[in-house]
Structure 1
Amino acid sequence: MSDVLVERDGHVFVIAINRPHKKNAFTLEVLEEIASTLLRLRRDPACRAIILTGTGDSFCAGVDLSIMEGMRADGSATPSGWKSLLMDRVHKIALALDDFDKPVIAAVGGPAYGAGMDLALMCDMRFVGASARMCEAYINLGVVPGDGGCYYLPRIVGLPKALELLLSGRVVGAAEALEIGLANRVCEDDALMAETMAFAQILASKSPSAVRMIKRATYQSLACDLRTSLDLISSHMGVVQSLDDTAEVARALKSGDEPNFKEQ
């Protein structure tokens, strides 16, 4: 069976790391498959939302140690070798998600450690099970966060809390994750996927054009001043008002029907 499973439920696609015997620690092949799947679904009009998760009792325990062992064995564990590994292979998912303008929700059950936590941080939202344990574990190994933790975490929980977690390497449970804004919602473990899917289906039922524009505008507004953001959104409003999706919403509201958006 594949190490990455892709399933569809209506307009919601689920991408699951399928290495439960390794706590879903990822190999380079897993990263390549997830990145290529994201690139494909970015262009697929049938996809309106994604859930990223892991099978078994873990979300993702980070990098499979065999990658490091292999680098040491073949002599590529040099400064340039490590940099190439990260930039050419590991960072592909972060860059693919940065270009992905449809909602992505991480469903986190069990451990999400190191690059596994970073993978959850890359997503737009995080629904966590009661058993979730999240940890920026790099410092415990004497290394730096290699997959975006220093970028994402301050934007999600604020700078002081991010530094606390990055520098201490301590584990955050589900309740604290919710308290500090790291998690959007905490669910019972056996209801995690059902609740995440139910919310994803709500997002998938909205105007696809408006959802994508809102996501883009929200992220772009984090990196610009107020006037630039308002100028951007006024252009988006002018465009979206002319689209078939908006006309379909108006028709459905008038008739009392559910909107039926065309796949474009």
Structure 2
Amino acid sequence: MSELLFETTGGIATITLNRPDSGNAFTTEMLEAWERALRECIRDDAIRAVVLTGAGRIFCSGGDVKRMAKNAAGGQTAWERGQYLVDHVHRIPLTLQELDKPYIVAVNGAATGAGMDMALMGDLRFAAQSARFAESYIKVGFVAGDGGAWMLPRLVGTPKALEMLWLGDFVGAEEAERIGLVNKMVPDDQLMAHTMAVAERLANGPTVAIRLMKRMVRQGAQSSFPEALTYAAACVGVVSGTEDYREATAAFAEKRKPAFKGR
């Protein structure tokens, strides 16, 4: 059975981490398939929203600790350990930087270590009530090697991020929602229905405007306010020439629901 499942329907691509017996821990094969799936989402204009989740009762336990211990005992050098991250694990966050479509993470269970950090990479995160989160690297004497130490403070603030990174304790779904780690906590049996409803709403929306909004938010986080305004003006120029913009303004005037075409 494939370690990663990828399917598309109705403009929505769903990526499922599929090693439930191993807590959906990463393997090289899974990471490579994950990157290929993301590349397809970038390339295919028929895909307008992407959903990530995990199979079974765990979202993702991150790196395979048994493999890491074996590599350490086998004399793997510091260079080789770092290069594995660059060649495989880092490919996911770097590829996601190229994805300007909505990327929604449905956290169906425990998300620990790099598994939690992969959840943080979503534009939106919804958590099952039974989900829980832990930056568990410290438990094995390790550090966040995939961008978690960069992303987490931006979501929850530096003191809370350091608390999670230094102590490695679990944060439940309710607390995760309170501190802004996830957008919303929902009952376990409603997680995928809620997530897919949001994905469907986005997939059926004005695609160009949605993609430009994501680009604007990213650009704004790394630029001055005047630069952000300049970029916003350029985006307005682009979106005002789309069919969806003309349809939306006509629908507003006619007091009806717009029928977007994604162009």
What SS is found at the alignment partner of 2:2? coil
* Counterpart for residue 5 of structure 2: 5
- The farther-off stretch of 60-69 and 247-256 is 247-256
* Counterpart for residue 104 of structure 1: 103
Spell out the pairing of 1:239-250 with structure 2 (5 A cutoff).
Answer: 239-250=238-249
CA positional deviation for 1:14: 0.8
**Kept after mapping to 2: 8 A contact 1:32/1:89:** yes
Q: Where does the alignment leave 5 or more consecutive residues of structure 2 unmatched?
A: none
1:78 matched to 2:77? The reply is yes
Alignment-mate amino acid for residue 56 of structure 2: G
What SS is found at the alignment partner of 2:137? helix
In 2, the alpha carbon distance for the partners of 1:59 and 1:88 equals 23
Aligned-residue CA RMSD (Å): 1.6
Residues 109 and 246 from structure 1, CA distance in 2 versus in 1: closer, same or farther, beyond 3 angstroms? same
Alignment-mate amino acid for residue 28 of structure 1: T
Q: Deviations over 1:209-254 (max 9, x none)?
A: 0000000100110111111111110111011101223223334443
1:47 matched to 2:47? The reply is yes
Alignment-mate amino acid for residue 123 of structure 2: D
CA positional deviation for 1:255: 7.4
Q: Deviations over 1:84-126 (max 9, x none)?
A: 0111111000101111100111100111000100100111111
CA positional deviation for 1:127: 0.1
In 2, the alpha carbon distance for the partners of 1:189 and 1:93 equals 27
Alignment-mate amino acid for residue 43 of structure 2: R
Give the number of equivalent residue pairs: 262
In 1, the alpha carbon distance for the partners of 2:12 and 2:195 equals 11
* Counterpart for residue 92 of structure 2: 93
Alignment-mate amino acid for residue 54 of structure 2: G
1:60 matched to 2:35? The reply is no
Q: Where does the alignment leave 5 or more consecutive residues of structure 1 unmatched?
A: none
In 2, the alpha carbon distance for the partners of 1:119 and 1:73 equals 27
In 2, the alpha carbon distance for the partners of 1:69 and 1:170 equals 22
In 1, the alpha carbon distance for the partners of 2:118 and 2:207 equals 24
**Kept after mapping to 2: 8 A contact 1:248/1:261:** no
In 2, the alpha carbon distance for the partners of 1:242 and 1:260 equals 14
In 2, the alpha carbon distance for the partners of 1:82 and 1:60 equals 21
* Counterpart for residue 160 of structure 2: 161
Identity %: 44
Alignment-mate amino acid for residue 261 of structure 2: F
Normalised to the residue count of structure 1, the TM-score between the two structures is 0.94
**Kept after mapping to 2: 8 A contact 1:27/1:67:** no
1:126 matched to 2:129? The reply is no
